[in-house]
Amino acid sequence: MTTEDREAIGQAQIRALIDLRVQAVRAKDIDGAMATVAPDVLSFDVVNPLQSIGSSAIRKRLEEWFSSFKGLIGHEIRDLKIYVGDGVAFSHGLNHVIGTTLDGKNVDMWWRSTVCYRKIEGEWMITHEHNSVPFDVESGRASLDLKP
């Protein structure tokens, strides 16, 4: 298999992984969203703390986050780019979520997401994830209402 073949296959595999995860978020399907997350994943999340180690921290956050929404979640990724090497890959994009919280507040938020993958026992797994919003220097507040 040539490097080009391997890259094309890797691209398709990572894209499928991301598509399934987007669908899992929309459906608030925790197991679906966690299926491709490595047990020892290192996560930099949008909210505190500074970092989390292990998939159980991400699962707990997703459970809290999913259950804060009334009904399903609108979710898309814009400007998604995927780069695949031999056993190592990364993707980045702007993640968008739209929904209504249990207390009736409308959520319409964009954040930056960088996801890093490694092939473990023949399967692509998310071993690192970095999600964030920037902050405004003047106010010191997180910028939750930026649009691309």
Q: Is 12 in the site for a second copy (CB under 8 A)?
A: no
- Whether residue 73 contacts residue 98, with contact meaning beta carbons closer than 8 Å, is answered with yes
Q: Is 104 in the site for a second copy (CB under 8 A)?
A: no
Whole-angstrom distance, CA of residue 64 vs CA of residue 36: 19
Alpha carbon dihedral 145, 74, 127, 48, in 10-degree steps, equals: 40
**What residues does 91 pair with on adjacent strands?**
82, 115
Whole-angstrom distance, CA of residue 100 vs CA of residue 70: 6
Q: Is 127 in the site for a second copy (CB under 8 A)?
A: yes
Nearer to a second copy, 71 or 139 (CB): 139
C-alpha distances in Å from residue 54, one per residue of 42, 49, 88: 6, 13, 19
Among 20, 29, 55, 90, binds a second copy (CB under 8 A): 90
Tell me the closest approach of the beta carbon of residue 109 to a second copy, in angstroms.
11
Among 62, 73, 77, 84, binds a second copy (CB under 8 A): 84
Tell me the closest approach of the beta carbon of residue 97 to a second copy, in angstroms.
14
ω into 49 cis (within 30 of 0): yes
Q: Is 3 in the site for a second copy (CB under 8 A)?
A: yes
Tell me the closest approach of the beta carbon of residue 84 to a second copy, in angstroms.
6
Q: Which residues of the chain form contacts with a second copy (CB under 8 A)?
A: 3, 42, 44-51, 79, 81, 83-90, 92, 94, 110, 112, 114, 116, 118, 127-128, 130, 132-137, 140-144, 146-148
